[in-house]
Amino acid sequence: QVQLVESGGGLVQAGGSLRLSCAASGSIFSINDMGWYRQAPGKQRELVAGITRGGSTNYADSVKGRFIIFRDNAKNTVYLQMNSLKPEDTAVYYCNADVKGRDYYVMNYWGKGTLVTVSS
């Protein structure tokens, strides 16, 4: 079994910054793609940013130039640096990962989420 645990959420004023972390633990052989999603009240969950094992990244248009996703493969951890935050960034942020277990099967996992609130 694999667990993804997010941290770093909180309350911040508009224009401020936060860094989210997501650490994977458990029966892990390797981790392929990792990503951050978010879900605002009354809205569907959406992709914020993704990163491959090799470091290729993609971003939602709404966060390009403000957010940076990066990872530490040795620590099985993915990060999301969020700068110039806006009230519309308020949401629960979820970590997602494609994990190859020690049995070599690849499964997709979600964290439980961390709340980010941006005040105007």
Task: Give the model confidence (pLDDT) of 20-39 as tens digits.
Answer: 999 999 999 999 999 999 99
Average pLDDT over residues 105-109: 96
Question: In the structure encoding, which two tokens stand for residue 15, read together?
Answer: 């224009």
pLDDT digits (tens, 9 = 90+) for 53-100: 999 999 999 999 999 999 999 999 999 999 999 999 999 999 999 999
Bridge-partner residues for 108, per DSSP?
98
Using DSSP's 3-state secondary structure scheme, residue 74 falls into: helix
Per-residue confidence band for 41, with pLDDT thresholds at 50, 70 and 90: very high
Q: Are 14 and 84 in contact (CB under 8 A)?
A: no
DSSP 18-71: EEEEEEEEES-SEEEEEEEEEE-TTS--EEEEEE-TT--EEE-GGGTTTEEEEE
